[in-house]
Chains A and B, each alone.
Chain A
Amino acid sequence: MTILPGRKGRPPILAAETPKGPWGQGDEPDGGGPRNPWSLPPGGRKPGAKPTALDEFLKKARGGGNGGGGGPLNGLPGAPNARALWLIGAGIILLVWVLYTSIHPIAPQERGVVTYLGRYSGTLDPGIAMTMPAPIANVVKVDVQNIRIENFPESGSENLMLTSDQNIIDLAYAVRWKISSPQNYVFQIDKPRDTVRATAESVMREVVANVSLDSALGPGRATIENQVQERMQKVLDDYKSGIVVVGVGIKQADPPARVNDAFKDVTAAQQDAQGVRNQAQSYAKQVVARAEGEASQFDKVYEQYRLAPEVTRRRMYYETMEAVLAKSDKTIVEPSGVVPYLPMGNARRIPDAAAAEPAQPAQPTTTTTTGGGQ
C-alpha cells in the first residue's frame, strides 16, 4: 500500500532487497537517514516525521483504520506512521483470520470433524467450539441429519432388470441415506455418493435376480425393499463408509413398455372371466328361483286339488278355455255337412303381421284376426 508511491520503476521487490537482507538488521539506533530505498521519499522531499502527524495518523488508525489510504494521499509517508499502520492492518487481518478459523459455530444438524496438523483429533458436537487457527487445526463440517435421496434411474428412462425366471422388469426406486459416522465418511471413502449409488444398483439387481417377475411386480415389493436395505448396509459397513441406509423405496415396478399390452391383456382376461362367471351366477339364481316358485305354486294348487279333485279339475279346465278362447278367433264346425270356409286373407296377412312393427295389443274380435306381436 504505502510502498507503491515510494518506488518508481523498480524491479520486483525480491531483486531489489535481496542484498540488503543480511545487513539491514537495524544497527543504527535512530531513523535519521535510513538507507532503505523504501523510505526515501519521492521527488527528493525531506522526510518530515512530526509528532502531530503521527498523532493524526494514530487517531485515524484508531478511528477507522483507513490510514493506509491516507498516508500516500498526504504525500508525506513518514516512516513510523507507515509502519504503525502496517502493523495495525496486519494485526487486524491476523486477528480476523484467527477468530474466523478458530471459532466454529456447529449447527444442530452438523458435526465438525477436527484435524490437528492433519491428524484426526475429535468430532465437534453442535454449539460453538474453539480450535487452534487454520493452518494448525482444520474443521470439516458434515451434515448428519440431512437425509439424501438417490433416485434410480436418474432420468426418466427405462431401468430394466432381469428376474429369476429370466423375465425383464422395469424398476424405478429411491434410496435414502445419511451419514452415521462423520469421521469415517470424511476419511474412508473417496467418493461417498458414487459409492452409495453403485452399491444400490448392484444390490437391487442382485435381489431382483432372486425374485420371480410376478412377485417383483407386486406382492414381493416390501421384501425386496427390506433385503436391498439390509444388504446395502452390509456392503457399506464393509467399506467402513460411515453411511447408514435409511430406507429403500420402489416407486414403480412395471413390465417393460414393449410387453405392457400383453400384461394388460392378462388383467383384461381376468376381468372377462369374472364377468362370464358373474353372468352364470345370476342365471343360476334366476333358474333356481323360478323352479322354486313354480314348484311351490304347484304344491299349493295340488293341496287344494286333493281336497276336491274332480271339481277343481273341471273348474280349472273351463277357466283356462275361457281365457284362451276369449283371445282368439273361433270357428265352430258343425259336423252336419256344412263346408267350412276358411278366409284365406288370414293366411296372406300373417306374414305382413309378422313383418310389421309391433302393433297394438291384440284386439280380439270375432271377425278379424290381428296378430299383436310383442
Chain B
Amino acid sequence: MSGLWRHPIALGLAALIFVILLAATVTIVPETQQAVVLRFEQPVRTVNAWKPNEQFGRTGAGPILRIPFIDRLVWLNKRVLDVDYDNQQVLSSDQLRLEVDAYARFRIIDPLKAVNATGSTSQTETAITEALRPLLGSSIRNELGNQPFATLLSPERDEVMDNIQTRLQRLATQYGVQIVDVRIKHADLPDGSPLDRALARMATARQQQAITIRAQGQKDAQIIRGEADAASARIYAQSFTKDADFYDFYRAMQSYRHTFGADGGPAPSGATSIILSPNNSYLREFEGRGR
C-alpha cells in the first residue's frame, strides 16, 4: 500500500484521466431533459424522448453510455415550454383593431425531428421557440381575422383558442413539437381612440341611466302625493257628506277663526278692520229689542 503512495502525483493524474474518460463515456440524463446522440454529426438515437403517460422513475432518464469524443449529445428540454406573443395588433373580421397577448405551451415530443429542423446546435430549444413565435402569430392573426370582435366576448372564445391551437399544431408538427395549449391572455382595445370611444360610450350609458333614475323617482313621488290627496279627499267626503249644510256652517266658522287669527295659530299678516252694518246677524240684539 505504502508503495502506491510514493507517487501520488502519478496517481492523481491517472485518477484525473479516468474521471475525464468516465465523464466522456457516462452521461447522466435528468428527468427534465431529452437528448439526441450524434455520431460524427449524424443523429443515431434519442435518449429519454417524451412519451405520453410515462411514470417518473420509469422513463429513459438515468446514466447512459456513449463513445467518448465521437458521440455528441444535443440536449432538449422535456418539460412544458412556452412561447409568448405579446402586444400585437390584430384586425378582427369587423375591422376592429385589437391588441392581443397570447401564449402557447408546448412540448418537444420528437427530439430527432426538432434537431433536424433547427440544426444540431446546443441552442435547439431557443431555436424552436423562435421558430414557433411567428407561427403562433400567424395562427392568431388568421383565426381572429375570420372572427368578429364580439366572439371574443362570448362563450365561443374557447372555440377560437382551440382553432388557433389546431392551426398552430399543423404548422408546428415539422419541428417535432406538440402544442399543449394556446391561450389568449388579453384581447383588448388598443389605447387611443378605440378605447376612448368605448369609455365614452360607457359614460353616456351611465348618464342616461342616472337621468332615467331621477325621472322615475319624480314620477313615483308624484304618484304617492296624488294617492295621498285622493285618500284625504275621500276621508273628508265620507265624513262631511253626513250633513252638507252643517259642514258649510262649521267650516265657515273655522275659516273665520283662521282668517282673523283667532284659532290659536299664527296671527295673520296684515291688519284687519271690520266695518259692521247694524243689520249684521251678530248685531241683531245690539240695539235692543223692539226697534
Contact = CB atoms under 8 A, between A and B. Distances in A.
Interface residues of A, number: 136
Contact of B155 (A210, A335, A354, A373): A210
Given A26-B7, A238-B180, A287-B232, A330 B274 contact: yes
Given A118-B63, A259-B199, A24 B153 contact: no
A162 interface: yes
A371 B195 CA distance: 69
A174 to B, nearest CB: 17
B192 interface: no
A353 interface: yes
B247 A298 contact: yes
Contact of B157 (A188, A206, A273, A318): A206
Interface stretch (A31-39, A95-103, A244-252): A31-39
A8 interface: no
Contacts of A25: 4, 7, 10
A239 B283 CA distance: 110
B56 interface: yes
A194 B82 contact: yes
Contacts of B267: 327, 361-362, 372-374
A329 B271 contact: yes
Contacts of A332: 275-278, 283
Interface string B155-199: 101100000000000000000000011011111110000010011
A115 B195 CA distance: 52
Interface string A167-181: 110000000000000
Interface in B1-28: 2-10, 13-14, 28
A295 interface: yes
A117 B63 contact: yes
Contact of B246 (A121, A160, A305): A305
Nearest to B240: A298
B7 A36 contact: yes
5 contacts: A25-B7, A191-B82, A239-B181, A302-B242, A327-B272
Interface of B: 2-10, 13-14, 28-32, 56-57, 59, 61-63, 77-82, 84, 103, 105, 150, 152-155, 157-158, 180-181, 183-189, 195, 198-199, 202-204, 206-207, 209-211, 213-214, 216-218, 220-225, 227-229, 231-233, 235-236, 238-240, 242-243, 246-247, 249-250, 253, 256-257, 259-263, 266-279, 281-283
Given A199-B183, A284-B225, 5 more contacts: A21-B14, A162-B187, A295-B236, A321-B282, A354-B270
